[in-house]
Structure 1
Amino acid sequence: MTLEERIKEVKHRVEAACQRSKRAPDNVNVIAVTKYVSTQMTAQVLKQGLEHVGENRWQNAEEKWNALGQQGIWHFIGHLQTNKVKDVVSKFEYIHSLDRLSLAKELEKAGAAHNLEIKTFVQVNISGEDTKYGLTPEQTAPFLKQIRDFSHIRVVGLMTMAPFEAEAEDTRPVFRALRELMENLNQQAVTNEPMTELSMGMSNDFEVAVEEGATWIRLGSVLVGKEEEES
Protein backbone atom coordinates (compact mmCIF):
# COMPACT_ATOMS: atom_id res chain seq x y z
CA MET A 1 0.00 0.00 0.00
CA THR A 2 1.09 3.55 -0.66
CA LEU A 3 1.16 6.18 2.05
CA GLU A 4 -2.02 7.74 0.66
CA GLU A 5 -3.77 4.36 0.71
CA ARG A 6 -2.70 3.68 4.28
CA ILE A 7 -4.00 7.07 5.41
CA LYS A 8 -7.38 6.33 3.83
CA GLU A 9 -7.47 2.88 5.40
CA VAL A 10 -6.66 4.24 8.88
CA LYS A 11 -9.32 6.94 8.49
CA HIS A 12 -11.87 4.30 7.55
CA ARG A 13 -10.95 2.13 10.53
CA VAL A 14 -11.13 5.08 12.93
CA GLU A 15 -14.52 6.08 11.58
CA ALA A 16 -15.80 2.51 11.96
CA ALA A 17 -14.54 2.35 15.56
CA CYS A 18 -16.23 5.68 16.30
CA GLN A 19 -19.47 4.44 14.80
CA ARG A 20 -19.38 1.33 16.99
CA SER A 21 -18.79 3.42 20.10
CA LYS A 22 -21.09 6.29 19.12
CA ARG A 23 -18.28 8.84 19.00
CA ALA A 24 -17.53 11.65 16.56
CA PRO A 25 -14.46 10.91 14.40
CA ASP A 26 -13.42 14.56 14.72
CA ASN A 27 -12.64 13.86 18.38
CA VAL A 28 -9.88 11.38 17.47
CA ASN A 29 -6.51 12.86 16.49
CA VAL A 30 -3.93 10.81 14.62
CA ILE A 31 -0.24 11.23 15.41
CA ALA A 32 2.03 9.90 12.67
CA VAL A 33 4.93 8.26 14.49
CA THR A 34 7.96 8.87 12.29
CA LYS A 35 10.73 7.63 14.55
CA TYR A 36 11.74 4.81 12.19
CA VAL A 37 11.56 6.75 8.92
CA SER A 38 13.66 9.39 7.21
CA THR A 39 13.25 13.12 6.91
CA GLN A 40 12.09 12.58 3.34
CA MET A 41 9.31 10.22 4.43
CA THR A 42 8.30 12.58 7.22
CA ALA A 43 7.99 15.34 4.62
CA GLN A 44 5.66 13.10 2.60
CA VAL A 45 3.55 12.48 5.70
CA LEU A 46 3.13 16.22 6.25
CA LYS A 47 2.44 16.80 2.56
CA GLN A 48 -0.44 14.33 2.78
CA GLY A 49 -2.10 16.54 5.37
CA LEU A 50 -1.18 14.68 8.54
CA GLU A 51 -0.19 17.62 10.75
CA HIS A 52 0.67 15.76 13.96
CA VAL A 53 4.10 14.13 14.07
CA GLY A 54 5.38 11.95 16.91
CA GLU A 55 9.01 11.27 17.82
CA ASN A 56 10.42 9.46 20.85
CA ARG A 57 14.09 10.57 20.92
CA TRP A 58 15.58 13.97 20.22
CA GLN A 59 18.66 12.36 18.68
CA ASN A 60 16.45 10.83 15.98
CA ALA A 61 14.15 13.82 15.63
CA GLU A 62 16.68 16.63 15.38
CA GLU A 63 17.34 16.44 11.65
CA LYS A 64 13.64 16.10 10.86
CA TRP A 65 12.63 18.98 13.09
CA ASN A 66 15.32 21.26 11.70
CA ALA A 67 14.03 20.58 8.20
CA LEU A 68 10.30 20.37 8.85
CA GLY A 69 9.57 21.74 12.31
CA GLN A 70 7.51 24.67 11.07
CA GLN A 71 5.24 22.46 8.96
CA GLY A 72 3.52 20.40 11.63
CA ILE A 73 2.62 20.01 15.28
CA TRP A 74 5.25 17.92 17.02
CA HIS A 75 4.65 15.48 19.86
CA PHE A 76 7.36 13.99 22.06
CA ILE A 77 6.02 10.53 22.84
CA GLY A 78 9.02 8.69 24.31
CA HIS A 79 10.68 8.62 27.70
CA LEU A 80 12.15 12.08 28.22
CA GLN A 81 15.46 12.40 30.04
CA THR A 82 15.77 15.54 32.12
CA ASN A 83 18.97 16.56 30.31
CA LYS A 84 17.07 16.59 26.99
CA VAL A 85 14.29 18.90 28.17
CA LYS A 86 16.13 22.00 26.94
CA ASP A 87 16.28 20.47 23.44
CA VAL A 88 12.61 19.59 23.08
CA VAL A 89 10.56 22.13 25.03
CA SER A 90 10.54 24.93 22.47
CA LYS A 91 10.02 22.54 19.56
CA PHE A 92 7.44 19.98 20.68
CA GLU A 93 3.99 21.32 21.47
CA TYR A 94 2.99 18.21 23.41
CA ILE A 95 4.96 16.01 25.81
CA HIS A 96 3.23 12.64 26.24
CA SER A 97 5.52 11.15 28.88
CA LEU A 98 5.50 13.20 32.07
CA ASP A 99 6.08 10.58 34.76
CA ARG A 100 8.12 12.00 37.63
CA LEU A 101 8.64 15.12 39.70
CA SER A 102 12.24 15.72 38.56
CA LEU A 103 11.03 15.91 34.96
CA ALA A 104 8.16 18.21 35.90
CA LYS A 105 10.61 20.58 37.58
CA GLU A 106 12.83 20.70 34.49
CA LEU A 107 9.83 21.26 32.23
CA GLU A 108 8.60 24.06 34.49
CA LYS A 109 12.05 25.66 34.45
CA ALA A 110 12.31 25.42 30.66
CA GLY A 111 8.76 26.67 30.20
CA ALA A 112 9.56 29.72 32.30
CA ALA A 113 12.77 30.36 30.34
CA HIS A 114 10.90 30.27 27.03
CA ASN A 115 7.71 31.88 28.39
CA LEU A 116 5.75 28.85 27.24
CA GLU A 117 2.87 26.78 28.55
CA ILE A 118 3.83 23.15 27.92
CA LYS A 119 0.99 20.78 27.13
CA THR A 120 1.64 17.46 28.81
CA PHE A 121 0.14 14.03 29.30
CA VAL A 122 0.93 12.21 32.51
CA GLN A 123 2.10 8.69 31.65
CA VAL A 124 0.44 5.93 33.64
CA ASN A 125 1.62 2.33 33.64
CA ILE A 126 -1.84 0.79 33.78
CA SER A 127 -0.65 -2.71 32.90
CA GLY A 128 2.02 -2.75 35.61
CA GLU A 129 4.68 -4.11 33.25
CA ASP A 130 8.23 -3.72 34.55
CA THR A 131 9.45 -2.77 31.08
CA LYS A 132 7.17 0.27 30.82
CA TYR A 133 7.61 3.74 32.25
CA GLY A 134 4.87 5.61 34.03
CA LEU A 135 3.23 6.18 37.37
CA THR A 136 1.00 3.59 38.93
CA PRO A 137 -2.68 4.52 39.01
CA GLU A 138 -2.36 5.01 42.79
CA GLN A 139 0.54 7.46 42.36
CA THR A 140 -1.22 9.61 39.80
CA ALA A 141 -3.45 11.76 42.00
CA PRO A 142 -0.68 12.66 44.49
CA PHE A 143 1.64 13.50 41.59
CA LEU A 144 -0.92 15.76 39.95
CA LYS A 145 -1.41 17.58 43.25
CA GLN A 146 2.37 18.06 43.52
CA ILE A 147 2.58 19.82 40.16
CA ARG A 148 -0.72 21.65 40.33
CA ASP A 149 0.94 25.02 40.92
CA PHE A 150 3.52 24.65 38.15
CA SER A 151 2.33 27.56 36.04
CA HIS A 152 4.14 26.58 32.83
CA ILE A 153 2.84 22.98 32.73
CA ARG A 154 -0.68 22.25 31.55
CA VAL A 155 -1.75 18.65 32.06
CA VAL A 156 -4.23 17.99 29.26
CA GLY A 157 -4.73 14.29 29.97
CA LEU A 158 -3.24 10.85 30.52
CA MET A 159 -1.17 8.52 28.36
CA THR A 160 -0.55 4.80 28.51
CA MET A 161 0.94 1.97 26.48
CA ALA A 162 -0.86 -1.34 26.45
CA PRO A 163 1.01 -4.65 26.30
CA PHE A 164 1.43 -6.05 22.80
CA GLU A 165 -1.30 -8.65 22.42
CA ALA A 166 -1.94 -11.09 19.59
CA GLU A 167 -5.62 -10.21 19.94
CA ALA A 168 -6.25 -6.47 20.11
CA GLU A 169 -9.39 -7.06 22.14
CA ASP A 170 -7.20 -8.19 25.05
CA THR A 171 -5.95 -4.60 25.44
CA ARG A 172 -9.44 -3.27 26.21
CA PRO A 173 -9.14 -3.45 30.03
CA VAL A 174 -6.01 -1.28 29.91
CA PHE A 175 -7.62 1.45 27.84
CA ARG A 176 -10.84 1.33 29.81
CA ALA A 177 -8.89 1.64 33.06
CA LEU A 178 -7.10 4.76 31.84
CA ARG A 179 -10.36 6.40 30.84
CA GLU A 180 -11.94 5.55 34.19
CA LEU A 181 -8.86 6.85 36.00
CA MET A 182 -9.12 10.19 34.23
CA GLU A 183 -12.81 10.39 35.05
CA ASN A 184 -12.08 9.69 38.72
CA LEU A 185 -9.26 12.23 38.85
CA ASN A 186 -11.50 14.87 37.29
CA GLN A 187 -14.13 14.16 39.94
CA GLN A 188 -11.45 14.73 42.58
CA ALA A 189 -10.47 18.02 40.85
CA VAL A 190 -6.76 17.30 41.27
CA THR A 191 -5.88 19.55 38.32
CA ASN A 192 -6.75 23.21 37.89
CA GLU A 193 -8.99 22.40 34.97
CA PRO A 194 -10.50 19.05 33.96
CA MET A 195 -8.34 16.76 31.84
CA THR A 196 -9.93 15.97 28.48
CA GLU A 197 -7.36 13.99 26.49
CA LEU A 198 -6.41 10.32 26.38
CA SER A 199 -3.26 9.37 24.46
CA MET A 200 -3.57 5.64 23.93
CA GLY A 201 -3.59 3.14 21.10
CA MET A 202 -0.93 2.21 18.57
CA SER A 203 -0.82 0.33 15.27
CA ASN A 204 -1.89 -3.04 16.67
CA ASP A 205 -4.68 -1.88 18.99
CA PHE A 206 -5.87 1.61 18.04
CA GLU A 207 -9.43 0.61 17.16
CA VAL A 208 -10.02 -0.76 20.65
CA ALA A 209 -8.45 2.38 22.12
CA VAL A 210 -10.80 4.56 20.07
CA GLU A 211 -13.78 2.52 21.26
CA GLU A 212 -12.64 3.15 24.83
CA GLY A 213 -12.27 6.91 24.42
CA ALA A 214 -8.83 7.67 22.96
CA THR A 215 -8.55 11.24 21.69
CA TRP A 216 -4.97 10.80 20.43
CA ILE A 217 -3.72 7.62 18.76
CA ARG A 218 -0.03 7.12 17.98
CA LEU A 219 0.41 5.25 14.68
CA GLY A 220 3.69 4.14 13.16
CA SER A 221 3.82 1.06 10.94
CA VAL A 222 0.12 0.90 10.06
CA LEU A 223 0.21 4.50 8.85
CA VAL A 224 3.76 5.47 7.88
CA GLY A 225 4.65 1.97 6.73
CA LYS A 226 8.09 0.81 5.73
CA GLU A 227 10.19 3.14 3.64
CA GLU A 228 11.10 0.53 1.06
CA GLU A 229 7.43 0.47 0.05
CA GLU A 230 7.66 4.13 -0.88
CA SER A 231 10.95 4.04 -2.76
Structure 2
Amino acid sequence: MIQENIKLVEENIKKACEKVGRDVNEVTLIAVSKTKPYTAIEEALPTGVKDYGENKVQELCDKYEILPKDIKWHMIGHLQRNKVKYLVGKASLIHSVDSIRLAEQIEKEYAKADEIANILIEVNMAQEESKFGITSEETEQLVREIAKFPHIRIKGLMTIAPYTDNPESNRVYFRNMKKLSVDIENKNIDNVSMSVLSMGMTGDYQVAVEEGATLVRVGTGIFGERNYNI
Protein backbone atom coordinates (compact mmCIF):
# COMPACT_ATOMS: atom_id res chain seq x y z
CA MET A 1 0.00 0.00 0.00
CA ILE A 2 2.81 2.43 0.87
CA GLN A 3 4.40 2.00 -2.56
CA GLU A 4 1.07 2.56 -4.32
CA ASN A 5 0.51 5.70 -2.24
CA ILE A 6 3.93 7.06 -3.22
CA LYS A 7 3.19 6.46 -6.91
CA LEU A 8 -0.09 8.37 -6.55
CA VAL A 9 1.58 11.30 -4.78
CA GLU A 10 4.35 11.43 -7.40
CA GLU A 11 1.74 11.38 -10.15
CA ASN A 12 -0.11 14.28 -8.48
CA ILE A 13 3.13 16.25 -8.18
CA LYS A 14 3.79 15.65 -11.89
CA LYS A 15 0.29 16.86 -12.82
CA ALA A 16 0.68 19.99 -10.67
CA CYS A 17 4.01 20.75 -12.37
CA GLU A 18 2.53 20.25 -15.83
CA LYS A 19 -0.38 22.55 -14.98
CA VAL A 20 1.96 25.50 -14.32
CA GLY A 21 4.81 24.57 -16.67
CA ARG A 22 7.33 23.49 -14.05
CA ASP A 23 9.95 20.75 -14.40
CA VAL A 24 8.98 17.88 -12.09
CA ASN A 25 12.66 17.49 -11.18
CA GLU A 26 12.44 20.81 -9.30
CA VAL A 27 10.22 19.17 -6.66
CA THR A 28 11.41 16.63 -4.07
CA LEU A 29 8.99 14.50 -2.10
CA ILE A 30 9.75 14.13 1.60
CA ALA A 31 7.97 11.10 3.04
CA VAL A 32 7.09 12.12 6.59
CA SER A 33 7.69 8.99 8.63
CA LYS A 34 7.10 10.41 12.12
CA THR A 35 5.54 7.93 14.56
CA LYS A 36 5.86 5.16 11.95
CA PRO A 37 8.17 2.14 12.44
CA TYR A 38 11.41 1.88 10.46
CA THR A 39 9.85 -1.06 8.60
CA ALA A 40 7.44 1.37 6.92
CA ILE A 41 10.44 3.22 5.49
CA GLU A 42 11.97 -0.08 4.35
CA GLU A 43 8.73 -0.71 2.47
CA ALA A 44 8.95 2.72 0.83
CA LEU A 45 12.62 2.59 -0.21
CA PRO A 46 12.20 0.46 -3.39
CA THR A 47 10.19 3.35 -4.92
CA GLY A 48 13.37 5.44 -4.98
CA VAL A 49 12.20 7.97 -2.37
CA LYS A 50 15.30 8.85 -0.37
CA ASP A 51 14.09 11.86 1.68
CA TYR A 52 12.33 11.21 4.99
CA GLY A 53 11.02 13.70 7.53
CA GLU A 54 10.88 13.35 11.32
CA ASN A 55 9.35 15.60 13.97
CA LYS A 56 11.37 14.34 16.93
CA VAL A 57 15.14 14.24 17.20
CA GLN A 58 15.14 10.92 19.09
CA GLU A 59 13.07 9.23 16.40
CA LEU A 60 15.30 10.56 13.63
CA CYS A 61 18.42 9.31 15.44
CA ASP A 62 16.95 5.87 16.15
CA LYS A 63 15.97 5.34 12.51
CA TYR A 64 19.28 6.76 11.28
CA GLU A 65 21.13 3.99 13.13
CA ILE A 66 18.98 1.19 11.66
CA LEU A 67 18.33 2.26 8.07
CA PRO A 68 20.62 2.69 5.01
CA LYS A 69 23.05 5.58 5.20
CA ASP A 70 22.10 7.04 1.81
CA ILE A 71 18.77 8.25 3.24
CA LYS A 72 18.46 12.04 3.60
CA TRP A 73 16.89 12.90 6.94
CA HIS A 74 14.87 16.09 7.36
CA MET A 75 14.22 17.54 10.82
CA ILE A 76 10.82 19.14 10.26
CA GLY A 77 9.50 19.48 13.81
CA HIS A 78 10.13 22.16 16.41
CA LEU A 79 13.74 21.86 17.53
CA GLN A 80 14.77 22.38 21.14
CA ARG A 81 18.22 23.83 21.66
CA ASN A 82 19.35 21.01 23.95
CA LYS A 83 18.68 18.45 21.20
CA VAL A 84 20.70 20.11 18.42
CA LYS A 85 23.89 18.17 19.19
CA TYR A 86 22.23 14.86 18.28
CA LEU A 87 21.50 16.03 14.72
CA VAL A 88 25.13 16.73 13.81
CA GLY A 89 26.18 14.37 11.03
CA LYS A 90 22.66 12.94 10.69
CA ALA A 91 20.24 15.64 9.49
CA SER A 92 20.57 16.58 5.87
CA LEU A 93 18.34 19.65 6.36
CA ILE A 94 16.82 21.35 9.42
CA HIS A 95 13.51 22.94 8.36
CA SER A 96 12.44 24.60 11.60
CA VAL A 97 14.85 27.38 12.56
CA ASP A 98 12.87 30.33 13.90
CA SER A 99 15.12 32.18 16.34
CA ILE A 100 18.62 33.55 16.68
CA ARG A 101 19.05 31.57 19.92
CA LEU A 102 18.42 28.29 18.13
CA ALA A 103 20.80 29.33 15.34
CA GLU A 104 23.48 30.14 17.93
CA GLN A 105 23.16 26.64 19.36
CA ILE A 106 23.34 25.08 15.89
CA GLU A 107 26.47 27.11 15.15
CA LYS A 108 28.06 26.03 18.42
CA GLU A 109 27.39 22.30 18.00
CA TYR A 110 28.29 22.14 14.30
CA ALA A 111 31.47 24.18 14.89
CA LYS A 112 32.61 21.59 17.45
CA ALA A 113 32.34 18.88 14.79
CA ASP A 114 33.63 21.16 12.01
CA GLU A 115 30.44 20.41 10.06
CA ILE A 116 28.04 22.63 8.11
CA ALA A 117 24.34 22.74 9.03
CA ASN A 118 21.93 23.24 6.15
CA ILE A 119 18.82 25.00 7.42
CA LEU A 120 15.55 26.61 6.43
CA ILE A 121 13.94 29.55 8.20
CA GLU A 122 10.45 28.66 9.43
CA VAL A 123 7.89 31.36 8.62
CA ASN A 124 4.42 31.36 10.20
CA MET A 125 2.86 32.87 7.12
CA ALA A 126 -0.73 32.43 8.32
CA GLN A 127 0.20 33.87 11.76
CA GLU A 128 -1.50 31.01 13.62
CA GLU A 129 -0.97 31.26 17.35
CA SER A 130 -0.64 27.48 17.66
CA LYS A 131 2.29 27.30 15.23
CA PHE A 132 5.99 28.04 15.55
CA GLY A 133 7.82 30.27 13.08
CA ILE A 134 8.45 33.96 12.63
CA THR A 135 6.38 36.52 10.74
CA SER A 136 7.17 37.39 7.15
CA GLU A 137 8.14 40.88 8.32
CA GLU A 138 10.80 39.48 10.64
CA THR A 139 12.27 37.03 8.15
CA GLU A 140 14.84 39.15 6.31
CA GLN A 141 16.36 40.45 9.55
CA LEU A 142 16.72 36.94 10.98
CA VAL A 143 18.22 35.72 7.70
CA ARG A 144 20.80 38.51 7.82
CA GLU A 145 21.75 37.66 11.42
CA ILE A 146 22.05 33.91 10.87
CA ALA A 147 23.96 34.39 7.60
CA LYS A 148 26.95 35.58 9.66
CA PHE A 149 27.46 32.13 11.25
CA PRO A 150 30.28 30.23 9.49
CA HIS A 151 28.88 26.73 10.15
CA ILE A 152 25.33 27.41 8.92
CA ARG A 153 24.04 27.63 5.36
CA ILE A 154 20.57 29.07 4.83
CA LYS A 155 19.01 27.18 1.92
CA GLY A 156 15.56 28.76 1.90
CA LEU A 157 12.26 28.96 3.76
CA MET A 158 9.64 26.63 5.23
CA THR A 159 6.05 27.08 6.31
CA ILE A 160 3.24 24.97 7.75
CA ALA A 161 -0.04 26.20 6.30
CA PRO A 162 -3.31 25.93 8.24
CA TYR A 163 -5.04 22.55 8.36
CA THR A 164 -8.00 22.82 6.00
CA ASP A 165 -10.46 20.73 4.00
CA ASN A 166 -10.10 23.21 1.15
CA PRO A 167 -6.52 23.34 -0.17
CA GLU A 168 -7.34 26.39 -2.30
CA SER A 169 -7.66 28.44 0.89
CA ASN A 170 -3.91 27.96 1.49
CA ARG A 171 -2.88 29.16 -1.97
CA VAL A 172 -2.46 32.74 -0.73
CA TYR A 173 0.03 31.63 1.94
CA PHE A 174 2.06 29.59 -0.53
CA ARG A 175 2.06 32.45 -3.02
CA ASN A 176 3.23 34.90 -0.35
CA MET A 177 5.98 32.47 0.70
CA LYS A 178 7.26 32.31 -2.86
CA LYS A 179 7.20 36.10 -3.10
CA LEU A 180 9.09 36.41 0.20
CA SER A 181 11.76 33.98 -0.95
CA VAL A 182 12.23 35.87 -4.23
CA ASP A 183 12.44 39.19 -2.36
CA ILE A 184 15.18 37.83 -0.08
CA GLU A 185 17.01 36.17 -2.99
CA ASN A 186 17.11 39.52 -4.77
CA LYS A 187 18.92 41.09 -1.78
CA ASN A 188 21.99 38.94 -2.61
CA ILE A 189 22.89 38.35 1.05
CA ASP A 190 26.22 36.54 1.45
CA ASN A 191 25.98 32.89 2.56
CA VAL A 192 22.24 32.77 1.77
CA SER A 193 20.41 30.82 -0.92
CA MET A 194 16.65 30.80 -1.43
CA SER A 195 16.66 27.74 -3.68
CA VAL A 196 14.53 25.66 -1.27
CA LEU A 197 10.87 26.31 -0.49
CA SER A 198 9.46 23.66 1.86
CA MET A 199 5.68 23.90 1.89
CA GLY A 200 2.66 21.73 1.31
CA MET A 201 1.53 18.60 3.14
CA THR A 202 -0.90 15.73 2.46
CA GLY A 203 -3.97 17.96 2.13
CA ASP A 204 -2.52 20.75 -0.02
CA TYR A 205 0.79 19.72 -1.62
CA GLN A 206 -0.53 20.04 -5.18
CA VAL A 207 -1.47 23.69 -4.62
CA ALA A 208 1.93 24.24 -2.97
CA VAL A 209 3.70 22.80 -6.03
CA GLU A 210 1.68 25.06 -8.32
CA GLU A 211 2.87 28.03 -6.25
CA GLY A 212 6.57 27.13 -6.25
CA ALA A 213 7.29 24.51 -3.55
CA THR A 214 10.55 22.62 -4.09
CA LEU A 215 10.00 20.29 -1.11
CA VAL A 216 6.63 18.83 -0.13
CA ARG A 217 6.15 16.96 3.14
CA VAL A 218 3.64 14.11 2.79
CA GLY A 219 2.99 11.74 5.69
CA THR A 220 -0.59 10.54 6.03
CA GLY A 221 -0.96 10.40 2.23
CA ILE A 222 1.87 7.83 2.13
CA PHE A 223 1.93 5.97 5.44
CA GLY A 224 -1.71 6.32 6.48
CA GLU A 225 -3.16 7.77 9.67
CA ARG A 226 -0.87 8.05 12.68
CA ASN A 227 -1.35 6.54 16.12
CA TYR A 228 -0.08 9.13 18.57
CA ASN A 229 -0.75 6.80 21.53
CA ILE A 230 2.17 4.51 20.76
Question: Which band: TM-score by shorter chain?
Answer: over 0.9
- Aligned-residue sequence identity (percent) comes to 37
- State the alpha-carbon separation in 2 of the partners of residues 110 and 129 from structure 1: 30
Q: How does 1:88-167 map to 2 (within 5 A)?
A: 88-167=87-166
Question: Does the 8 Å CA contact 1:203/1:220 hold for their aligned counterparts?
Answer: yes
Deviations 1:121-150 (A, max 9, x none): 000000000001001111111111111211
3-state DSSP class of the match of 1:5? helix
- State the alpha-carbon separation in 1 of the partners of residues 193 and 42 from structure 2: 35
Q: Which runs of 5+ in 2 are unaligned?
A: none
Number of equivalenced pairs: 227
Q: CA deviation at 1:63?
A: 2.3
Q: Which moved more, 1:108-117 or 1:59-68?
A: 59-68
Change (3 A) 1:191 1:137: farther
3-state DSSP class of the match of 1:223? helix
**2:57 aligned with 1:49, yes or no?**
no
Q: Which moved more, 1:17-26 or 1:187-196?
A: 187-196
Question: Does the 8 Å CA contact 1:56/1:79 hold for their aligned counterparts?
Answer: yes
Q: CA deviation at 1:61?
A: 2.6
- State the alpha-carbon separation in 1 of the partners of residues 131 and 50 from structure 2: 28
- TM-score, normalising length from structure 2? 0.94
Q: How does 1:14-29 map to 2 (within 5 A)?
A: 14-29=13-28
Question: Does the 8 Å CA contact 1:99/1:133 hold for their aligned counterparts?
Answer: yes
Q: CA deviation at 1:90?
A: 1.8
Q: Which moved more, 1:219-228 or 1:72-81?
A: 219-228
Q: CA deviation at 1:170?
A: 0.5
- State the alpha-carbon separation in 1 of the partners of residues 172 and 214 from structure 2: 17
Change (3 A) 1:99 1:42: same
Question: Does the 8 Å CA contact 1:37/1:226 hold for their aligned counterparts?
Answer: no
Aligned to 2:64: 65
- State the alpha-carbon separation in 2 of the partners of residues 95 and 62 from structure 1: 14
Aligned to 1:79: 78
- TM-score, normalising length from structure 1? 0.94
- State the alpha-carbon separation in 1 of the partners of residues 126 and 49 from structure 2: 30
- State the alpha-carbon separation in 2 of the partners of residues 144 and 128 from structure 1: 19
Deviations 1:147-195 (A, max 9, x none): 1211110000000010011111110000001000011111222343431
Partner amino acid, structure 2, of 1:108: E
Question: Does the 8 Å CA contact 1:79/1:97 hold for their aligned counterparts?
Answer: yes
Flag as ranges the 4+ runs of structure 1 deviating above 6 A: none
Deviations 1:181-220 (A, max 9, x none): 0111112223434311100000000000000000000010
- State the alpha-carbon separation in 2 of the partners of residues 25 and 136 from structure 1: 30
Q: Which runs of 5+ in 1 are unaligned?
A: none
- State the alpha-carbon separation in 2 of the partners of residues 218 and 167 from structure 1: 18
3-state DSSP class of the match of 1:134? coil
Deviations 1:86-145 (A, max 9, x none): 011221110000100111011111111111111100000000000010011111111111
- State the alpha-carbon separation in 1 of the partners of residues 27 and 152 from structure 2: 23
Q: CA deviation at 1:71?
A: 3.6
- State the alpha-carbon separation in 2 of the partners of residues 140 and 46 from structure 1: 35
3-state DSSP class of the match of 1:161? coil
Q: CA deviation at 1:4?
A: 1.7
